[in-house]
Amino acid sequence: MTVGKKIALALAATSMSFSASALGRASSPPRQPPSARPNILLIILDDVGFSDLGAYGSEIHTPNIDALARGGLRYNRFDTKAICSATRASLLTGRNNQTVQMADLASHRRAPDPTDDTKYKGVLPDNAQTLAQALTAAGYQTYALGKWHLTPRWEGGPGAPAGDPGGKKTSWPLQKGFGHFYGFLGGWTDEYNPRLVEDNHPIPTPTTPGYHLSVDLADHAIADVDQNARSGKPFFLYLALGAGHAPIQAPKSYIDHYRDTYSVGWDAVRAARFRRMKQIGIIPPDTKMHAREDGDAAWSSLDVAHQRLYARYMATYAGFLEHADAQIGRLVDHLKATGTFNNTLIVVLSDNGAAGEGGADGGFRYPYNDKTPFAERLAHIDELGGSSTEPLYQRPWAMASDAPLRRYKGWPYSGGTRDPLIVTWPDRITDRGAVRPQWVDAIDIAPTLLDVAGTHFATSIDGVKQIPVAGASVRASFSSGTAQAGRSIQYFELRGSRAIRVGWWKAIAVHQRGTPFSDDPWQLFNEQADFGEAHDLSKECPQKLDALKAAWWEEARKYAKPPLGEPHHR
């Protein structure tokens, strides 16, 4: 069988489930009388691109997530903050990340600066009630598992020595409203040898033969569901997997599923996904795909040895996602077996676009800035994804993962911000398998979940006025594909790069560090006619661009201090 046929068969397998949005809808599960308050399961994937799931057009085998999509809704205009900590801050607070001092990553400083109350502080403030705190007040049991990445270094977060318990722990999960935590505080960890915390204490790295963190997190999630059943309360389970953030690590059997799949290269995979996404209705049929980015090599320009090695990287990434999907499947199966599934609102999303941080060569022994010689990498190709490696794939694979969008994680284009969002709730969502075109931002998730739970963020707690919530519930979209979106405007800023969406119009400015902001060129896109941001209209519609630039400043002054600047430290 040729490699091309293998990709075709993989895509054909997806088409059996998603041949069209109407034909791909699942039959109704057994019905149970809905109770007033559903359980809530929020599953966060990491660095997973817009087209990486089978339900979004991928050749990667994600049958359990795809089943949730068939039984629920897929959104194609869900935007994040293009980077981990910033998105998670917005998800948990319903505020723009700049407003809650998380304009970038959680702080790496060794000590807090009491004079810093800007968006660059890198630690959540005390007067921004979290989703977990609001749900706890409403009578929910709350559990957090996996990645946190909202704790500064001086409290034991990223960059702190192994086993360091940190300082006051004010930004640890339990202090932010969760009743139980099991996971890691930093941005990433080795899946085989993770640095773990349980509740408020570091714990030893597990030594179980064949250990993998994704399996461990699913085991804990199942145990938490069982423990919660004895409480008589609804639960909120926040499951933040490491997949598919570097290091991309998975059992060899999963990697072998894709051993030959990616020898066709990133250009062919991207094109195949683009065609498939149109066929299943995830993107409009008239979508144009932007050309390969400058600095990303054409697959055909690589020699055979580089092609062989780089194809294995993507096979490892695909195996990592399929393995994570299997763990999600175990949890969902347990919900069904215990009669909990039908009245559980399940949300699956990714926190930002695919990671282009691996550059042209990727990482091997280390994810970032790895200097392992090519010959050594090739000689040890069969170790990729195992415990002796901590790989990150090459940047052009991120381009394929984000198809058909421009750029990758960290950029203001949709390749940095647009992500899959799947919502299923068997007791209430009946338009199963549908694609929703409404705009949803990360700041809208918490207000939506609180709306479903019959509560809302507090405006004042113990006499302390809380930071106003910027997001809005999009629950109306659960029952209607034409329901008006909660908000018509959303702004974005990361490391000086900016974006603003007003209705269907979007303006983008890419900033180069150390240069005047006034030199940043602006681009303009009409996303109703140009889903992939392929056609810049800035010269054709200068007045519209000026209006959006003015809107950006208005929003930035409302939500950020300072409204524009370069972070000098984290």
In tens, the pLDDT along 330-361 reads 999 999 999 999 999 999 999 999 999 999 99
pLDDT score recorded for residue 161: 80
pLDDT score recorded for residue 7: 53
Residue 454, Cβ density class (10 Å: 0-12 exposed, 13-18 middle, ≥19 buried): exposed
pLDDT score recorded for residue 26: 43
Whether 76 and 21 have beta carbons less than 8 Å apart is answered as no
Say how far apart CA 324 and CA 62 lie, in whole Å: 9
Report CA-CA distances (Å) from 435 to 53, 478, 549.
14, 11, 31
Is 541 an active-site residue?
A: no
Strands (E) located in 495-549: 497-502, 505-509, 522-526
Span 118-138, pLDDT tens digits: 999 999 999 999 999 999 999
Indicate the pTM of the whole model: 0.94
Comparing 3-7, 23-27, 197-201, the range with the smallest average pLDDT is 23-27
| Nearest C-alpha neighbor of 405 from the set 282, 547, 253 | 282
b/e 398-411 (16+ beta carbons within 10 angstroms → b):
bbbbbbbbbbbbbb
Q: What is the pLDDT averaged over residues 93-107?
A: 97
Which of 61, 108, 149, 201 is flagged as catalytic? 149
Say how far apart CA 135 and CA 455 lie, in whole Å: 8
Is 149 an active-site residue?
A: yes
8-state DSSP, 158: T
Q: Tokens for 239?
A: 């499951």
pLDDT score recorded for residue 274: 98
Q: Which domains does the chain have, with CATH numbers?
A: 3-25+40-479 (3.40.720.10), 488-570 (3.30.1120.10)
**Within a 13 Å sphere around the CA of 556, how many CA atoms are in the beta-carbon half?**
20
DSSP states of 391-415: -B--HHHHHHHTTTSSS-TTSSSHH
| pLDDT range class, residue 157, cuts 50, 70, 90 | confident
Report CA-CA distances (Å) from 60 to 14, 319, 445, 556.
9, 8, 26, 39
pLDDT score recorded for residue 569: 61
Classified as helix, coil or strand, 111 is coil
Comparing 72-81, 159-168, 303-312, 560-569, the range with the smallest average pLDDT is 159-168
Which of 61, 84, 290, 323 is flagged as catalytic? 84
| pLDDT range class, residue 35, cuts 50, 70, 90 | low
pLDDT beyond 50 at 15: no
Paired with 181 in beta bridges are 144
Percent of the chain scoring above 70 in pLDDT: 93
pLDDT score recorded for residue 85: 98
Backbone angles phi, psi at 78, to 5 degrees: -100, 125
Residue type for 396, please? P
pLDDT score recorded for residue 570: 57
Say how far apart CA 127 and CA 459 lie, in whole Å: 10
